[in-house]
Chain A
Amino acid sequence: MNDTALLHRLIERQAAERPDAVAVTGDDAELSYGQLDDQATRLAHRLIRSGAGPETPVAVLAARGADTVVALLAVLKAGAAYVPVDPANPPERVGYLMRDSGASLLVAPRRLAATAPSGPWTTVTFDVGSADGAPAAPLPERVGPDNAAYIIYTSGSTGQPKGVVVPHRQIVRSTLANREFGRPDPDCFLLLISFAFDACAVGLYWTLSTGGRVVVPSVDDLRDPLALRALAARHQVTHLDCTPTLYSLMLADAPEPLATLRCAIVGGEACPADLVERHHRLLPGCLLVNNYGPTETTVWVTSATVTPTSDGPVSIGTAIRGARTYVLDEDLRSVPDGVEGELFIGGETVARGYHGRPGLTAERFLPDPFSTRGERMYRTGDRVRRLPTGELEFRGRFDHQVKVRGFRIELGEVEAALAAHPDVVEAVADVRDLGGTATLVAWARSTAAGTDEILHQLRERLPAHMVPSRLLLLDALPRNVAGKVDRARLPDPAGPAVPAGDEPATPLEAEVAELAAEVLGLPVGRSDNFFDLGATSLHLSRLLLGVMSRFHVSVPTHQLFRVPSVLGVAQLVEAARRLEDPDATGTWTLDELAAAGELDADIHPGGLAPSTWFGPRHVFVTGATGYLGAFLVKELAERTDATLWCLVRAGSEDEGIARIRAAMSGYRTWDQAYLSRIRPVVGDLSEPRFGLSGSAYERLGRDIDVIYHSGAVANFMYPYSAIKRTNVDGTAEVLRLATTGTLKAVHHVSTIDVLVGSGIERPYREDVEMVARTVPEGYARSKWVAEAFARQARDRGVPCSIYRPGLVFSHTRTGATQLNDYLLVEIKGLLDFGIGPDLEYRLPVSTVDCVSQAIAHLSTQEHCLGGTYHLWDPEPVPVQSIFSWIRSFGYTFDPVPFETVLKRLAELDPDSPVLPLLPLFLDEERRLRTESFAAGDLTAADREVECAGTLAGLDGTGIGSAPLSEELAHKCFQYLVDVGFFPEPAAQRARVAAHDQVVEWREPEHVG
């Protein structure tokens, strides 16, 4: 591609080549390339008629939706420069942006027309999806590469934001540079960055110029990391770009929803080393990239591929092609490698300058002394140094520009806004670490107005992220000898005071307000919006935990995000207390459950000839990269001579085999010999016919003899809707394959959860009639429906065995276990405190080698085909035994009342990756405490009955005769220490001891 291309041409080219491919998916609409191009062209005609043209700024309301992409593209096609305006901006700020940019048009989607800011400009509203019938007429070619493409505003140090003008040439170069690092092009990019920031251009234009799909989360999605994870899983996102903080929340400790991720880009903040380690441990096949670049040099200018072996601060990498980086001293001379200096950037991506600010432009865009052609370089104000590798290391700023939660803020702008209040004599803003979070704090001297009034005015002028979370009014600002404000002596904000006029109105509200103040670290009024106070989703997670602990009600995370105020939370708590089942919304009736379990009529044996069910030549396996699946593959490789065709999501067969091998190696069950036995089948369980080509599917139908189906999303966090396609539809697809070409034997891996979740009474006989008494949620529901499909297929004559494992935990020899097991996540969190709840339930567990061997053996026995098998040890393990084994392994883990545990969990370190999972794990705790797992309910005889079929089938094999013991548990813990999931015992003991000395122990005031 040549550099004379224009930004919109890159997208138009894709529209010509693949008009039907999906370009953008948002909450509001999904558009193909053809539709995107057509809609943008029509809108462009309207904009031209309204006066848009070369060098004309046109404002675009940058709402989170597919329609904004149409608007941006339309402005470009009209030859104008778009000025994205965040709809969350206060009206005064919007007015400023419109005036300063000179835009006389504001483009807004009609769905937001009612709330769009109004003023002395023309608002052009548009609808996505209204086509006039006739194809849009071609547009005149009016611009060249040097014409402005967009103007994006950044914080200004003297109080007013300034617009950076970027021409087409620069943004095209910036976009093409994404393909010059050997990184895979985006298949599906999750666009987490607002259209109002130029950083979104990576996700937007890299994807749209290479034919990929952009997924735009809604405003609600963006507030909830769990929703973002579900969105990533649903769309099988391959790329994303966000701050390290948000990525850390999304990654958590359970990578499954991000399994399709190929490239994670982080930027806007320093990237912590532990995030790097976690990323590579949890997503070994995914690139981690750190991008850096100011708006003034067009989106990004350097990039680093962050490898797991890099130590020291994460570097910002090396320059993209066409850009030049200089590290200079005060006299604008190059400094030697390793010496700190200021970063200047020259080359093709230097923007035109600041709109309407010639002086400021002349001061920041300086002559490039390393060029002889009158080129300019941009002075970044960043302190860097060049490493021996040639990469750059970021070391801070020279001025008062800061980054808070990834947002670039000039403290001067905040200070100027404060000083604009008539009563404010002087003001200072800075970033302080409060409660582990970088927080924007301000100090001011005021003659009359109080903090509320001043902050209120700020909210009218500044975007939310620039409003200080804390404002302290002082009689005098501390000064140094030279008379300048001494920032270091500005006091940290102190403990809470009651905000006037907004006190809690009920005792419940008072409790909620107290809890909120604890979590947020500042006084909270009854109707204050937590986000306005600077709360992040991390704070909300902690608040949720506190709510559950203090009020003993379960409030789903997304509900809390909708009413983020003391009043709202109090109302939720009341509502939850009133209802028997606070989670009533979203629950099905038993009839709906039964209806969902109806298998397609066209899945039946018909007159198909049977394949070879015993001694198969070709076996199809799903879930080979999962915990149980990996061991099944091993067992099948060793017990049969069959070729193992393993379904795997990957970009190629090579990548597929690499993923399988990585998974099996991680679980310590790989052997080189398996390479010749395993054939990857690149496809997707959640797609019809696994997404395979017609001929590939036919071949499977013809050649496969037996299917082992263990593939599923085994995650208790997800709502049913997010996992239905993989778990439920995927099972239907497996049964469809079983009845295509030949009639195949199916070995379906179900779970004990279908019994627990449906209220069936113990003892769980293998031949129990599967009639649900209650409707299971989420994962359990998906497995119930999937098993219902399998049972129906079996009734229709498909030879299908069903296996229900209990809790699969540890490996007899290696201790290998899966990391997203809820019990282990719970234990990991509790190890931080060295305490364990004194609950008395018993767990039906089994080691993974027992379960996989049992399935493998039973599936090779002719008389066992078509049965249902319960795979857990008849001797359940008291959870207290597991806890005592934790102690004997060397950890401090004192038994305390459950209520105490909840209270301590509410105090978790905000950076703990366990934190976002805890509200859900508390639900899990409740699940495990149900009647089914209470101690002492069943006799030994009853327990034997539960696994009668299995015991009979395994008789004489020696399989499954090793109940969980201290030795096995210790092997598991050692494995977890080896993979870095659990701390070393000595370190944990020391940390708990130190922590206990510092923290004042608060006993709960009431129990139960």
Chain B
Amino acid sequence: MSAEAGERRYRVVVNDEEQYAIWPVELDRPGGWHDVGVTGDRRTCLDHIERTWTDLRPRSLRERMANAG
């Protein structure tokens, strides 16, 4: 299924924990997810995420660890 999905258009979305994902443009965004403003084919979206999402830890964990010193 995923291999043939190259022609679909997606957008890059992110949740409050700063986790990224791609989502088909024609579907409603699920609750708790926001657009980052990038749409395109699968490759374009994933490339953006590869560059942007540098720390896979959820934001709340990152903050907790930073505060713990």
- A residues at B contact (CB < 8 Å): 54-55, 142, 144, 146-147, 165, 330-332, 342, 352-353, 355-356, 358-359, 361-363, 365-376, 379, 381, 398-399
Would you list 11 pairs from A and B whose C-beta atoms are within 8 A, ordered by A residue? A146-B58, A358-B53, A359-B46, A359-B49, A362-B12, A362-B22, A367-B21, A367-B32, A381-B1, A399-B1, A399-B3
Q: Is the CB of A359 within 8 A of B50?
A: yes
By beta carbon, the residue of chain B nearest A375 is B32
Q: Is the CB of B65 within 8 A of A367?
A: no
By beta carbon, the residue of chain A nearest B28 is A369
Q: Is the CB of B22 within 8 A of A363?
A: yes
The 8 closest A-B pairs by CB, nearest first: A374-B32, A372-B31, A374-B15, A358-B53, A359-B46, A359-B50, A367-B30, A369-B30
> Which B residues are CB-close (under 8 A) to A55?
57, 65
Q: Is the CB of B2 within 8 A of A376?
A: no
Interface size class of B (residues with CB under 8 A): 35 or more
Q: Is the CB of A362 within 8 A of B30?
A: no
Let me know if B47 is at the binding interface, CB within 8 A.
Answer: yes
Secondary structure of the B contact surface, majority rule: mixed
Interface string of B14-32 (1 = CB under 8 A from A): 0111011111100111111
Q: Is the CB of B46 within 8 A of A362?
A: yes
Tell which of A370, A374, A381 touches B16, judged by Cβ atoms closer than 8 Å.
A374
CA distance A776 to B14 in the complex (A): 73
Q: Is the CB of B20 within 8 A of A374?
A: no
User: With contacts A146-B60, A363-B42, A374-B30 known, what are 10 further pairs, Cβ within 8 A?
Assistant: A146-B61, A363-B22, A365-B21, A366-B22, A366-B23, A367-B23, A369-B28, A371-B30, A373-B32, A376-B19
Contacts A330-B1, A359-B50: A144 and B64 contacting too (C-beta < 8 A)? yes
- B residues at A contact (CB < 8 Å): 1-3, 12-13, 15-17, 19-24, 27-33, 42, 45-47, 49-50, 52-54, 56-58, 60-61, 64-65, 68
Q: Is the CB of B22 within 8 A of A144?
A: no
Contacts A358-B54, A362-B21, A362-B49: A371 and B31 contacting too (C-beta < 8 A)? yes
Tell which of B32, B50, B57, B68 touches A371, judged by Cβ atoms closer than 8 Å.
B32
> Which B residues are CB-close (under 8 A) to A332?
24, 27
> Which B residues are CB-close (under 8 A) to A398?
1-2
Tell which of B1, B21, B58 touches A366, judged by Cβ atoms closer than 8 Å.
B21
Q: Is the CB of B20 within 8 A of A367?
A: no
Q: Is the CB of A368 within 8 A of B2?
A: no
Contacts A352-B58, A367-B13, A371-B31: A362 and B53 contacting too (C-beta < 8 A)? yes
CA distance A469 to B24 in the complex (A): 41
> Which B residues are CB-close (under 8 A) to A373?
31-32
> Which B residues are CB-close (under 8 A) to A331?
24, 27
- Nearest-Cβ distance from residue B53 to partner chain A, whole angstroms: 4
CA distance A362 to B47 in the complex (A): 11
- Nearest-Cβ distance from residue B14 to partner chain A, whole angstroms: 9
Contacts A330-B1, A399-B3: A358 and B50 contacting too (C-beta < 8 A)? yes
By beta carbon, the residue of chain B nearest A368 is B30
CA distance A371 to B28 in the complex (A): 12
Q: Is the CB of B56 within 8 A of A355?
A: yes
- Nearest-Cβ distance from residue A515 to partner chain B, whole angstroms: 44
> Which A residues are CB-close (under 8 A) to B22?
362-363, 366
CA distance A399 to B4 in the complex (A): 11
Q: Is the CB of B32 within 8 A of A399?
A: no
- Nearest-Cβ distance from residue A349 to partner chain B, whole angstroms: 15
Tell which of B28, B31, B42 touches A374, judged by Cβ atoms closer than 8 Å.
B31
- Nearest-Cβ distance from residue B33 to partner chain A, whole angstroms: 5
> Which A residues are CB-close (under 8 A) to B53?
358, 361-362
> Which B residues are CB-close (under 8 A) to A367?
13, 15, 21, 23, 29-30, 32-33
By beta carbon, the residue of chain B nearest A379 is B2
Q: Is the CB of B24 within 8 A of A363?
A: no
CA distance A995 to B43 in the complex (A): 55
> Which B residues are CB-close (under 8 A) to A358?
20, 49-50, 52-54, 56
- Nearest-Cβ distance from residue B48 to partner chain A, whole angstroms: 9
> Which B residues are CB-close (under 8 A) to A368?
30
> Which B residues are CB-close (under 8 A) to A363?
2, 21-22, 42, 46
CA distance A142 to B65 in the complex (A): 9
> Which B residues are CB-close (under 8 A) to A362?
12, 20-22, 45-46, 49, 53
By beta carbon, the residue of chain B nearest A147 is B61
